[in-house]
Amino acid sequence: MDADLVIVGAGLFGLTVAQQAVEHTGAKVEIIDVRKHIGGNAYSYVDEETGAEIHQYGAHLFHTSNKRVWDYVNRFTEFTNYVHRVYATHDGEVYPLPINLGTINQFFHAHYTPAEAQKLIEEQAGELAGTDPANLNDKGIQLIGRPLYEAFIKNYTGKQWQTDPAELPASIIKRLPVRFNYDNRYFKDTWEGLPKDGYTKWMERMIDDPRIHVTLGVDFFDESQPLNKKALVGKVPVVYTGPVDRYFDYELGDLKWRTVDFKEVRYDEGDHFGCPVMNFSDADVPYTRAIEFKNFNPERKDSQNPNKTVVWEEYSRFAERGDEPYYPVNTAEDKALYAQYEAKAAAEPKVVFGGRLGTYKYYDMHNVIDTALTAYEEQVAPLLAK
């Protein structure tokens, strides 16, 4: 095999490392992925019937306050001026999220000033005010008061985790933003937008170099094909972005993940929800949210079908082997297990572990790119220099 570096996984981490390796050292890079496409979970495609760009693994929204990352991604794509705003349906009524002064005044049929709303929330925390609860249920009440917590967070979180929030650790939510003004912009980062011509085009440009070769539909653990773990590890530098427990054949046990399933619904109308993401906060709706993809790209209306739209309903559950792992469960037991795998990973010859799956961390896209740039500088570049 004529490659100086092998990257397992064609997601943003692997693509960033590949691009950096070629740019800075002229290395020949082989990227392999078990999937039939590049881009990892950020992969998208255009739906023929509606003209909508479908995010195959759920809504992907780019935002960052990291100038290094922003400057880097703008080398490969321009971004739209999309600003993410989320709405939630509760008890037959639609409210803006995150909880802000508009949500509060609509919910309580009031016209509170910011100071009055802040005082109300503190009062509604009741006996939990000023405490530091250990479980999610009490932490939610302490942060935003019981009425708002029970309306917008309790049942949504219960569906998301399939667990009573009273049995979940408070660390899952850490903080619930409440804005005592009418700002309903979901993210507070400096830069935000969606790639003008789609995620896949962006990532194709990242690796548009003859020194980068991509082989899709290849399983790193399948020894019947040449690009496998046994044949490569220790012989050539490898960047591995798959599940860290899978790399070691689960010998210490399985790390736990949450996954999501999607149910597609098509409507004979141009716009069903009027927004890209609608949360469903009530327990009697089995899914957590619905994604209407056309509404991410209103600037493309001339290429979209004005009479058809497609919506994906999102259902959350615990992942099993073979499922797509989305969110690390990260219990104390999982963290302890990962620490053992991390120690084993550090001892692997010429192997760099990265990305969500390789490091058992939940990352937004900008975090993945930032950690990939750092991993290239600190770990991969020294391997290529040897």
- Enzyme catalytic residues: 175, 179, 258, 289, 314, 362, 364
Question: Nearest to residue 74, comparing CAs of 190, 186, 188, 184?
Answer: 190
| Helix or strand holding residue 95 (H, E) | strand 93-97
Longest Cα separation, the chain: 69
Q: Which residues pair with 266 in a beta bridge?
A: 310
Which tokens hold the place of 148?
Answer: 């708002």
Which tokens hold the place of 317?
Answer: 């559950």
Radius of gyration of the chain (CA): 23
Q: Can you tell me the distance from the alpha carbon of 236 to that of 3, in angstroms, rounded to the nearest whole number?
A: 8
Q: Which residues contact 174 (CB under 8 A, 6 or more apart)?
A: none
Residue 39 gets the label, from left (phi > 0), alpha (psi -120 to 50) or beta, of left
* CA dihedral over 365, 98, 297, 92, signed as positive or negative: positive
The CB density around residue 64, as the number of other CB atoms within 10 Å, is 21
Q: Contact, 27 vs 5, CB < 8 A?
A: yes
Q: Contact, 279 vs 88, CB < 8 A?
A: yes
End-to-end CA distance of the chain: 18
Q: Contact, 10 vs 38, CB < 8 A?
A: yes
3-state SS class at 100: strand
Q: Helices (DSSP H) in 169-310: which residue ranges? A: 199-206, 229-232, 244-247
Pairing of strands 277-280, 86-90: parallel
Q: Can you tell me the distance from the alpha carbon of 315 to that of 313, in angstroms, rounded to the nearest whole number?
A: 7
